[in-house]
Amino acid sequence: MLKFFARYKTFAIVFTILSAIIVFFIYKLKVPDERLPVYQPDMVSKELVDSTVQYVRKYHKIADFKLVNQNGDTITQDTYKGKIYVADFFFTTCLTICPIMTDHMVKIQEKTLDDPMVQLLSHTVFPVTDSVPVLKKYALEKGVVDSKWNLVTGDKKQIYELARKSYLATKTKGDGGKYDMIHTENFVLVDPDKRIRGFYDGTDPEAIDKLLHDIEVLEKEYRS
């Protein structure tokens, strides 16, 4: 009996390995890789979307922009070319949800610090008061890494239009002000093709964990 097993030992090992490989590929064929949706304006709550784009169903992308960061550097779409990035809206004197959102952005910064494909972008909704020096002071206080995370200010009209028409992430005040709005807690995940791939509650730790997971899923999509 021992001689029999010794004689067929190599065959058994090869057969086992081949069987495992076959089972693995059958599993991969039946279970496709996870893929994130591509969000269009008509998929998002109307209160967060400008009326001019509410019914757009395809081809939605983040519009070109030209803003200034905490170091006085010009930030445009080219800054994020080929990058995955997380965008949000805040203001430095906010005492409600902004500190929580910023702490969570810090966490994302820490988790992706060594990953050059992932960047962060925070827009102030009060550009008149959040000047470059104010943003720089805030960045230093919060431990912002300049190469990873831009806090940007600029033309108020441009920022508000980006919020409503591109990122689909802010509410209007409803007080008749043409460019007044209430920023939300939303973090927006944007892919290298400038498309929205996810919305996350920036005040919810579980949502941040989901965002970090989705960043990995998106990176896998673009590296495959």
Is residue 51 domain-shared with residue 26, that is, in the same domain? no
The pLDDT tens digits for 37-83 are 999 999 999 999 999 999 999 999 999 999 999 999 999 999 999 99
The pLDDT tens digits for 14-45 are 556 666 566 555 544 555 689 999 999 999 99
Is residue 147 domain-shared with residue 183, that is, in the same domain? yes
Structure tokens at 172: 């209007």
Structure tokens at 151: 């806090």
Q: For the residues 148-159, what does the mean pLDDT come to?
A: 96
Of 144-153, 178-187, 215-224, minimum mean pLDDT range: 178-187
Number of domains observed in the structure of the chain? 2
Is residue 7 domain-shared with residue 54, that is, in the same domain? no
Domain that holds residue 209: 41-223
Is residue 24 domain-shared with residue 80, that is, in the same domain? no
At residue 120, what are phi and psi to the nearest 5 degrees? -125, 150
More confident of the two residues 221 and 179: 221
Is residue 90 domain-shared with residue 28, that is, in the same domain? no
CATH number of the domain within which 124 lies = 3.40.30.10
Is residue 17 domain-shared with residue 120, that is, in the same domain? no
Is residue 125 domain-shared with residue 73, that is, in the same domain? yes
Is the separation of the CB atoms in 42 and 57 below 8 Å?
yes
Measured CA to CA, the distance from residue 83 to residue 194 in angstroms comes to 9
The rounded mean pLDDT for the chain is: 89
Q: Which amino acid is at 169?
A: A
Is residue 205 domain-shared with residue 134, that is, in the same domain? yes
pLDDT at 4: 47
Is residue 151 domain-shared with residue 170, that is, in the same domain? yes
Measured CA to CA, the distance from residue 9 to residue 4 in angstroms comes to 8
Is residue 10 domain-shared with residue 50, that is, in the same domain? no
Is residue 101 domain-shared with residue 28, that is, in the same domain? no
Is residue 23 domain-shared with residue 45, that is, in the same domain? no
- Give the residue carrying structure tokens 């001689």: 3
